[in-house]
Structure 1
C-alpha cells in the first residue's frame, strides 16, 4: 500500500512553525533579515517559491541550515510536479 504524500510548502512551515510560534509578523521578520516585506508575505501565502537567498537568511535568523529550507522547497516541487507530469511514454535507457 502506497501512502499519498501531501506537498507542504516551505511558506506553511515558516508561517506556522516559526512566525506563529515566535509571535512575530512577516513584516518584522522581513525587516530583521533584510528583505522586502512582500517576499515573506508571499512566501507564507504560498504564492512564490523559496529562493536560496531567502533560505540563507532564514537559516541564519532561526539557527537552522540552508539545506533544511531548500529541502522543504525541493520536496514540495517534486511532489507537485510528479502529480502533473505524465512519464508513461518514456522508455528507460539501459546500458549495454
Structure 2
C-alpha cells in the first residue's frame, strides 16, 4: 500500500483555540471558577478565549499551561497554527480590540464552562 504524504490532504477545516480550551476544561472536569482561582486569569479573559474573541497571547498561554498542564509552547503554537489555517481557508476572524485588558482577575460574562 502506497503512503500518502501528509501535505497531499490539506483539511478544509480547523479547530479554534477556544474550542480546544473548552474541550480540555470539560475533559479535566475543571470549572470556570476553579480555573480562574488556580491560574489568576480573569474570568472575562477565559470567556473571551473560549468564545474566540481574543488571541492566545504569551500571558494567556502561561495561565493555560498552569491550569491545564500543557506547555506554553503548545498554546502559542496552537494560536499560530489556527491563524495560518484560517488565512489559508479564508475564514474571517475578528478579535476584540487589543485595547481591552484581558489579563487581570475579575468577573466575566456567561460561558460554556460550568461555574
Q: TM-score, normalised by structure 2?
A: 0.63
What is aligned with 1:56?
A: 62
Greater relative CO, 1 or 2 (CA 8 Å, sep 6+): 2
Query: Cα offset for 1:55?
Result: 0.4
Aligned length: 83
Write out the 4+ residue segments of structure 1 that deviate beyond 6 Å after TM superposition: none
Aligned-residue Cα RMSD (Å) equals 1.7
Counting helix residues as a fraction of each chain, which structure ranks higher?
1
Q: TM-score, normalised by structure 1?
A: 0.74
User: Is there any run of 5+ residues in structure 2 with no aligned partner, and where?
Assistant: 1-7, 91-115
Instruction: Tell which structure's C-alpha radius of gyration is larger.
Output: 1
User: Is there any run of 5+ residues in structure 1 with no aligned partner, and where?
Assistant: 85-96
Contact 2:12 2:89 in 1 (8 A): no
| Aligned mates of 2:58, 2:64 — CA distance in 1 | 10
